[in-house]
Each structure stands twice: as structure tokens, then as C-alpha cells.
Amino acid sequence: MIEHHLAVTRTARYFTTGSDETGEAASELRELWIVCHGYGQLAARFLEPFVPLATPWRRIVAPEGLSRFYLDRSRVGVNTQAGVGATWMTREDREHEIVDQIAYLDALLDHLLPAASSSHVRLCVLGFSQGVATATRWLVRGGRVRADEVVLWAGSVPADVDPSNLAGRLAGAPDVRLPTPAPCRRTGRSARGTRP
């Protein structure tokens, strides 16, 4: 058996809140946030807590991972509907998925912020959970992305990303400091939603 790959055009989904993409409001845009969701989340739901932060001069954009799946397979049946989540990638054929997600985020940035208008707009990138790996890979391997601010929340920089390469991809930020997780003590007890 021989594995093959074929590049295809794909429709990607993203959600926005804040400044309109056209007309006069576009000239008011001073800040663009790209927020990358975590594993099993959909972009629309992930964007909801950011809505109060949106303004006529701040647009917040939540791209959605290219692969969707049913969250609870045991509930999938003829008369039931399981929830749906999205993922940026899995370990299966991961390099191609990484290349696809970077191309998607590059194309999204080009669509939202054409090169001619990007000089006056501050770019902020946030990654949550699996979105941390997505955001850091995009920052290091993406085309013209140069972030003014980066927030990495509840995730880790993947082993294939050298943190020292991040500094060169941040606009005007020569230093990158990544928090080191504190050692965890096992207590034998677990809080709701966590594993001991």
C-alpha cells in the first residue's frame, strides 16, 4: 500500500465580533485579535466571552479548526444529536494538518488585514489549550504574521516550536518569556472536571 496526498481547496469557517470588515468602520480598526480555540470547541461558542471586549476599533476573530467531530459518540443514534467540536489537528498525518492550518491562518490574515492596511493595526494572537500549539506554530512558520501581543492560555508550546524563534516573529517585542509550570503535588482528591 502506498500513501498519497492531494492538495485541495477547502472552505474554512470563522466568526467575528467588533469592527465591520468593510466601509468606514474598517478605517477605524486599530486592533485585530485572532483567538484560537481549544480541542473540541467550536469557534462561535469560544468567541462568546470575547464579545464584550469588541469595539468599533477592535475586531476579534475566531477561526475554527478544520476538522469537526462528534463529541459524545455514545449518544449518536437515529433520534439523538451529539454535540460537535473541532480540532486543529491529530497525530494522524500531522505534518500535512499543520501545513494546512498555517496556510488557513495566513489566508485568513490576508483576507482580514490586507498588507496595505496592516501597518496601523495592532495584531494580537491568543491561543487556548490546543490553540496554543496552533498559534505558536503559526507565529513561527506562518507567512507575514507578526504579532504585537501573544497570549498563551492553558496550553503548552509544542516540542517542534523553538521558543527563541517566537521572539523574531513578534513586532517590536525582543523578549519572550514562557512560564514554567510549578511542580504538581498529588493529593488524591480531584476537583470537579479535573483528574487527580
Q: Any idea where the domains of the chain sit in the sequence?
A: 14-167
- In this predicted structure, the answer to whether residue 9 has a pLDDT above a threshold of 50 is yes
Residue 192: per-residue pLDDT: 35
- Three-state SS for 87? strand
Beta strands in the chain (DSSP E): 14-17, 31-36, 58-63, 67-70, 84-87, 122-128, 149-153
C-alpha–C-alpha distance, residues 156 and 38, integer Å: 12
> What grid cell was written down for 96?
500535512
Confidence of residue 79 (pLDDT cuts 50, 70, 90): low
**Pairing status of strand 31-36 against strand 14-17:** unpaired
Looking at domain 14-167, its CATH architecture is: 3-Layer(aba) Sandwich (3.40)
- In this predicted structure, the answer to whether residue 129 has a pLDDT above a threshold of 60 is yes
pTM: 0.82
Residues 6+ apart with CB under 8 A from 177: none
**Which amino acid is it at 60?**
I
- In this predicted structure, the answer to whether residue 172 has a pLDDT above a threshold of 50 is yes
> What grid cell was written down for 122?
495592532
- In this predicted structure, the answer to whether residue 114 has a pLDDT above a threshold of 50 is yes
